Amino acid sequence: MGILAVFLTLASLGSAAFEDVKMDDIKSNLISTVKYLSHDIGQRSYLDIGKLNKAAQYIEDKFRSYGCNVKRQPFTYQGNTYFNIIGEVKGTKTTKDEILVIGAHYDTVMGTPGADDNASGVAGLLELARLAALRPFEMTVCFVAFSLEEPPIFRTEHMGSYVYAKSLKDEGINVYGMISLEMLGYFCDSKGCQYYPLPMFRWFYPDKGNFISFVGNISSRAFTKKVKRSFKSVSSLPVESLNTASFVLGVDFSDHRSFWKFGYPAFMVTDTAFYRNPYYHGLGDTALTLDYERTSELIIGLYKSLSRLER
């Protein structure tokens, strides 16, 4: 076979690999999940046990319908039982003993329906699981929906993500990296609508909130850059990244923080939360405020980029 023929064959195989990635389907599914969690269920705080259980069942049912290997991980806090929901998609290379973890929390603070924070992250998690189940990555991926990320549990050992990360460490499981999906759906295009933790950041980053951000600690820099480089090669959605010390406000504001505690590389994918979204942790965080077109572009880009990580 000539070089040109080989190239054309590989190109056609690459194209076929993403034939199941349909923008309209992804957008429709994102809208459906965000509306169900934020409107049909609504506030999902640590006190709303019934609502959290309803959300957990919805996520579990979705994972099962996609063909994932599903498991519930129970844990307790103040006498109540909460659940992490895990949907595993086995990798195509059985010789690899590492796993990739992709997670999103499904609880909210009190007083908000939590569409962006974090129904958008859960919706993205479910879509990535669906696509990966249709055409798995080389590496096994554990898609995990965490309970108890929000205050008053945040930054404690009672977080669902801490419980899960600790269990991986205790079992000696090798983790290639962890990606936390934390608020994915709010974008703004007016000049000055994007804020930052320090004034100097404006010298290096856009003043419009028309991008997605990858944020991690210094130890996770190599992992973050690898995914970012892969993402930029397959998506036109603007992406910015930051790997810095945890004292910069917001850098550790999600479940990736729990994985740092056990030495795993981890970063969050985020629309930058309160640095952009004026409805953060409020009643206005509804499904109608989100940009599902760009969120769909993000999910397609993440799926394609993660599928190429080991090439």
> 244 CB contacts (<8 Å, ≥6 apart)?
217, 218, 251
Distance CA(151)–CA(310), nearest Å, equals 37
Neighbour order of strands in the sheet with 239-243: 69-77, 80-89, 140-146, 98-105, 174-182, 266-270, 212-216, 239-243
Token readout for 311 is 């090439």
Residues 288-297 as b/e (b if ≥16 CB within 10 A, e otherwise) read eebbbebbbb
CATH numbers and ranges of domains, the chain = 20-307 (3.40.630.10)
| pLDDT at residue number 2 | 53
Q: How does pLDDT run along the chain (311 residues), one tens digit per residue?
A: 454 444 444 444 444 456 667 899 999 999 999 999 999 999 999 999 999 999 999 999 999 999 999 999 999 999 999 999 999 999 998 666 799 999 999 999 999 999 999 999 999 999 999 999 999 999 999 999 999 999 999 999 999 999 999 999 999 999 999 999 999 999 999 999 999 999 999 999 999 999 999 999 999 999 999 999 999 999 999 999 999 998 899 999 999 999 999 999 999 999 999 999 999 999 999 999 999 999 999 999 999 999 988 65
| pLDDT at residue number 309 | 82
- Intra-chain end-to-end CA distance of the chain, in Å: 22
| pLDDT at residue number 122 | 99
